[in-house]
Amino acid sequence: MRVRRVLSLLVVVALTGLLSGAAGGALPTAEAAAVAAVRLLPLRLQEAAIAPSVPALAPAPVVAAPVVAAPVPAPVVAAPVVARAVAGTPCVSTARACIELSSDRAWLIRGGEVSYGPVPITSGRAGFRTPPGSFTVTFHSRDHISSIYDAPMPYSVFFNGGIAFHQGSLSQQSHGCIHLSRTAAREFFESLERGDVVQVVR
């Protein structure tokens, strides 16, 4: 902007001087006057006056890089537990305790192998037979007293409603519970946890 003003002023001055100096001759053409005016400018201003006006280039638009979602890892799926027979028992490897009613025996199982037993048991008498099936341990009660029969049930491990492993007579049948010796009852009490599978077979 400044260069244009200076150029305009010089052109006017140059034209005025040329016009006043041309008394007897022909008036200079507009082109000659402009060239004369430019010659009066310093070299830097001459280049600016002669150089064609180039419009400023607009900045290139900023294009955002496409957002690429991170790959979602595949969910880890645990391999299904395959139940297999545990050697020496009638139960499968997913059980933690095994009861065989026909032989009056019980075992503890860990990692698909017998960890304790077999130990002798007694089960439910006629009218109170211990039902076969697979159940889970629900709770423990070390010094349990039966609210129905008002009888002590030390080291109780309940796994099917009111049916539990506990210390009891090995010569008399129960009202459905699994009687164990004191030593075995303590072992079952300390080994089994809530949620463990108890398998009862005929």
Position 112 in a domain: yes
CA distance 60 to 125: 93
**Shared-domain flag, residues 42 and 110:** no
33 and 129 housed in the same domain: no
- pTM score, whole prediction: 0.60
Is residue 71 in some structural domain?
Answer: no
d(CA 114, CA 103): 17
| Residue 90 located in a structural domain | no
Q: Tell me, what CATH number does 167's domain have?
A: 2.40.440.10
Using DSSP bridges, classify how beta strands 197-201 and 133-136 pair: parallel, antiparallel or unpaired: antiparallel
- Residues 102, 193 within the same domain: yes
Instruction: Tell whether 101 and 195 lie within a shared domain.
Output: yes
Confirm whether 46 is domain-assigned: yes
Q: Indicate the number of domains in the chain.
A: 2
Q: Does 66 reside within a domain?
A: no
Asked if residue 186 and residue 108 are part of one domain, the reply reads yes
Residue 186 and residue 128 in one domain: yes
Q: Determine, yes or no, domain membership for 69.
A: no
pLDDT band at 134 (very low <50, low <70, confident <90, very high): very high
Is 58 contained in some domain?
Answer: no
Instruction: Judge whether 84 lies within some domain.
Output: no
- 124 and 34 fall within a common domain: no
> How does residue 36 score in pLDDT terms, banded at 50, 70 and 90?
low
- Residue carrying structure tokens 């129960």: 174
- The tens digit of pLDDT for each residue in 42-99 reads 555 555 544 445 455 566 666 666 666 667 777 777 666 678 999 999 999 999 999 9
Tokens 């009490």, located at residue: 189
Residue 27 tokens read as 């008036």
CA dihedral 39, 42, 43, 44 (to 10 degrees): -130
Cα–Cα distance measured from residue 93 to residue 90, given in angstroms and rounded to the nearest whole number:
10
pLDDT at residue 24 in the model: 46
| In a shared domain, residues 114 and 39 | no
Domain containing 118 equals 97-201
pLDDT one-digit tens code per residue, 97-115: 999 999 999 999 999 999 9
Q: Which residues are catalytic?
A: 166, 177
Spell out the alpha helix ranges (H) of the chain.
2-21, 30-39, 43-50, 182-191
